[in-house]
Structure formats: C-alpha cells, structure tokens
Amino acid sequence: MKTPEQYMKLCKKLASKYKSPWWQDDLVSEGLVAIYSELAKNPNSKRVGQVAKDAMWEFSNLRNKPVTVPSGRTPKAVMFKDEEWLKDHSDYTEDNISWLKLVLETSHESIGDRDIQINSSEDKIVEDNLVETIHKVARETLSGGERSVFFLHHVHELAPAKISKMSGINKQTISFLLRSAEHKIKVRMKSMV
C-alpha cells in the first residue's frame, strides 16, 4: 500500500493529462475517491491506477457533459437537436425534454448570436428569474477577477479581446478566467438543484 502522498501524486499526474485546467482539482478528487473506494473493498488492490483513471474519464466525459441514459443503460451525449431521440429513447416527460432542450440550445451556441424568442409572459418570468439567479450566484461564488470578466462578457456583452484590451491583461488569461467563472457557476447551480 502506498502513502496518501503517493496516491495524491498519482492522481495529479493522471489529471495533468486532461487539457482542462479548471477541472484539475475535481479530477484529482475523483481519482482519490475512486482509489480509496477500491482500497476499502480490497486493501491489496493492484488496480488503483486504473480505477482513478476510469473515474477521471467518467467525470470529464459523462458527468460534465449533457448525457442521458436510455433504457438500454448505454450513455449517449445529447445535443440540442436530439429532441426526437429523447422522446423515443428516454422516460423524460415533455416538460423535462422542453427544459433540457432550452438548456442545451444555450450551451451549444452563443446567446449573443441569435435572438431568444419568448413565447409567453410565463417564459419571460422564468428566464428573468434564471438570469437573476445566475447573477446572484456569480456575485457570491466568483473572485474579483473572475467576477469582473464574467459580468463584462455576459452582461455588458464585451468580447474577451475587448476586455483584454481594456484591462491590459492578455487574452488567454481573460479566456481562462471566463471559463473558470462559468465552470464555478455551473457547479454551484447544479448543487442548488
């Protein structure tokens, strides 16, 4: 059996292979949980590296992407154009499919690239409440730099290049801060459901 430090080193090495710096801590945690779960079942297990690798793969490819598990229990990545497939192969209600479609549409294209059609005053209320909740979560969750970049981009509709020019911070850093902020908000919103 290795020491906790050696397991941490192993998980950090495995996580570094993923090109998503905003997930590194999550990937390490997933790997460590999988390792300790495996060791709880079999203290002499030789599979700790494999279970950590599998847990990280599942985290990055299934749990952080839109996925549905149909009756055949085979995971399928779902895009916003898959509404008919969802109706045929899942047990989601019409309301759930409509909500999922709305969420997927906004995650697969930029909201700034199209006009959002509001069908009723009830939809407008739901949308306003969602936007208000996202802004509240952003104010509570994000650090100063992430918060500034998030609001400049999503509220004031400034492109990362424009934010970079205004702030004097390079574009890659602005893009990283924006992705990090969006990920933190996504995680926090999921925990609220």
Three-state SS sequence of 35-53: HHHHHHHCCCCCCHHHHHH
pLDDT exceeds cutoff 50 at 110: no
Q: Are 33 and 52 in contact (CB under 8 A)?
A: no
Max mean pLDDT among 32-46, 63-77, 131-145 falls in 32-46
pLDDT at 52: 92
SS3 68: strand
Fill in the amino acid letter for 3: T
Same-domain pairing of 80 and 113: yes
Where residue 156 sits, what CATH number does that domain have? 1.10.10.10
**What pLDDT band is residue 25 in, cutting at 50, 70 and 90?**
confident
Neighbours of 11 (CB within 10 A): 26
Residues 80 and 134 in one domain: no
Is there a single domain that holds both residue 156 and residue 100? no
**In this structure, are 19 and 42 located in the same domain?**
yes
Residues spanned by the domain of 178 = 120-193
Considering the domain architecture, whether residues 110 and 152 belong to the same structural domain is answered as no
pLDDT at 113: 38
Q: Do 131 and 191 fall into the same domain?
A: yes
Q: How many independent structural domains does the chain possess?
A: 3
Same-domain status, 131 and 142:
yes
